[in-house]
Every structure is written in C-alpha cells, then in structure tokens.
Amino acid sequence: MRLTALLNDAYRTLRHPVHRVEYLLSLYGYKPDSSKVSQVLLMEVFEINEQLEEVKGGTASVEEADSLRALIKEKRERFDAELRQASLEWDELLKSAKAEAKLKEQLARLTEILSESSYIRNLERELE
C-alpha cells in the first residue's frame, strides 16, 4: 500500500509540468530564485497588483475585472508554453547526450522560467 501511494505521488509529480520541472531542478541542485526576475516583469506584476487591489476593493468594474483575469490567464499560458518548450528541449538534450554545459544552460533557463511564472501564478491565486 505504501509503495502504491509513493508511485501515485511520483506519477502526479511527473505528469504536472510545473511540478515535473521543480523536481528536475531539485535533482540538480537548482531552485527558483525570485531575485533574478527581470525588472520588466516586476513592473508588470506591480501594475497588475494595483489593478487587483481595485478588483478586491470593489472599485473596479466587472469589465475591468474580466479584463484583468484575461490578462493574467494569457500571461500564465505564455509561461506554461515556454515551460513546456524548455522541458521538451531538456528531454532532447538528454537523448542526444549533449555536453554538460548545454544541460546546465537549459537548467538555468528552466529555473528562470519557473521563477518568473511563479509571480503570475501568485496573481492568479489572488484573483480567485
């Protein structure tokens, strides 16, 4: 029974793109680092947070709230697509037995995407 639960947990982790990348990064000693997120993204998140406060405070119209939801969803979907593509590239690098430097480069890219996407996922949770 215990092994079945362990196997189910492993399957769920590997099936979910974000959890899979988090696990992969942990295997190689990498972890998301919010201090390395671009200033452009931080400014976007700041502006979205301001709009989010208006929605939560009830001062935003229904149209503004819907527009904010759509914006956050579009950004999350963009990061999800980037993460999927970078994961596929990782898999291809492993299959082709590329040099360790290329693998480290890809791990750094996965870390960056995951770090940035965490901001958007947090905004999405705030909006729910």
26 in a domain, yes or no? no
27 in a domain, yes or no? no
Q: What pTM was computed for the model?
A: 0.83
Q: What would the pLDDT profile of 29-44 be if each residue is shown by its tens digit?
A: 998 887 888 899 999 9
17 in a domain, yes or no? no
69 in a domain, yes or no? yes
- Print the domain residue range for 110: 33-127
1 in a domain, yes or no? no
Of 32, 28, 57, nearest in space to 117 by CA: 32
In the chain, the number of structural domains is 1
21 in a domain, yes or no? no
Q: What would the pLDDT profile of 107-120 be if each residue is shown by its tens digit?
A: 999 999 999 999 99
Question: Is pLDDT of 12 > 90?
Answer: no
Give pLDDT, residue 27. Answer: 92
Question: Exposed, middle or buried: residue 6 (CB in 10 Å: 0-12, 13-18, 19+)?
Answer: exposed
Rg from Cα positions in the chain: 18
Cα distances (angstroms) measured from residue 124 to each of 2, 68, 102: 34, 10, 33
Give pLDDT, residue 17. Answer: 86
Fill in the DSSP letter of residue 16: S
